[in-house]
Amino acid sequence: MRPSVRWSVSETRTAYCWAGPMEPQHDLLGQLRTEWARVARTSSSRIACREFLERHVDLPPLMAQDMGDVVRRLEPRGGLRVEQRALVVTALLEDADDPMIHRALLQTLLPGIVSVTRQLRFGRGIVDAPHEALDQALTLATELLTDWAGQSRAYAAPDVLSALRGRLRRWLLKEKEARAAVVADIRDSDIAPDNDHLLRRLEVLAHGPQSRLARLTYARVYEGVSLRDLAAADRSAPRSLQAELQQFATRFLL
């Protein structure tokens, strides 16, 4: 008879669904769009727009009252020709030290940022979920706009997105190397699958405060469930789960 501690991955997934409602899906992109809808019409946005237009009197007529209007004018159906949109984006980058203008420029570039991430396949095979690559792309884009604020670039949008592609690719390569270098998981520890003491210890721990990690350890050591599958069932990142399992083994089992 198998020990009562046995708990399959499917059971793990079901149990965590029972534990309570899942958190809403992580969506930084949606959060940014919601935030922009809120700030685009504020007095700060109107002031930033007025000052922006005063500094750049040579721009095509934007008929804008706030930075929300500026962003809408930069959309493909905003009424500006391609070369006119390029002039406005160049001016936005020149003034990107202003937080509101920086934010408007980021909002304008969101479709391009998503496109860059898609070109890199959302980090498939490297990160655990597409949103991780997209979140990193948004972070890198924000940093890039800060680094380049004040520069005058005739092809500002393509230049920013090209630089973003390079930075995101380098981040993905580093992430791939880091994951390959992670210390072998709990199966490579000093725990032997034929250790009766281990089975008894796991069975005891499975009925106490450490039940989650005890059951996951059993599935990993005795059932050979991969760390990735365990993490998916546990709704956790493989690296963080691996660290938890190693700490659990060191503290309670070894």
Share of the chain above pLDDT 90, in %: 53
Q: Per residue in 29-45, is it b (16+ CB within 10 Å) or e — as a string?
A: beebeeebeebbeeeeb
Instruction: Pick the range with the lowest mean pLDDT from 31-35, 161-165, 211-215.
Output: 211-215
pLDDT at 153 over 60: yes
Task: Tell me the two tokens of residue 107.
Answer: 């909002």
pLDDT at 221 over 50: yes
- Phi and psi torsions of 163, nearest 5°: -65, -40
pLDDT at 23 over 80: no
Indicate the pTM of the whole model. 0.65
Q: What is the pLDDT of residue 125?
A: 82
More confident residue, 176 or 107: 107
Calculate mean pLDDT across residues 187-213.
69
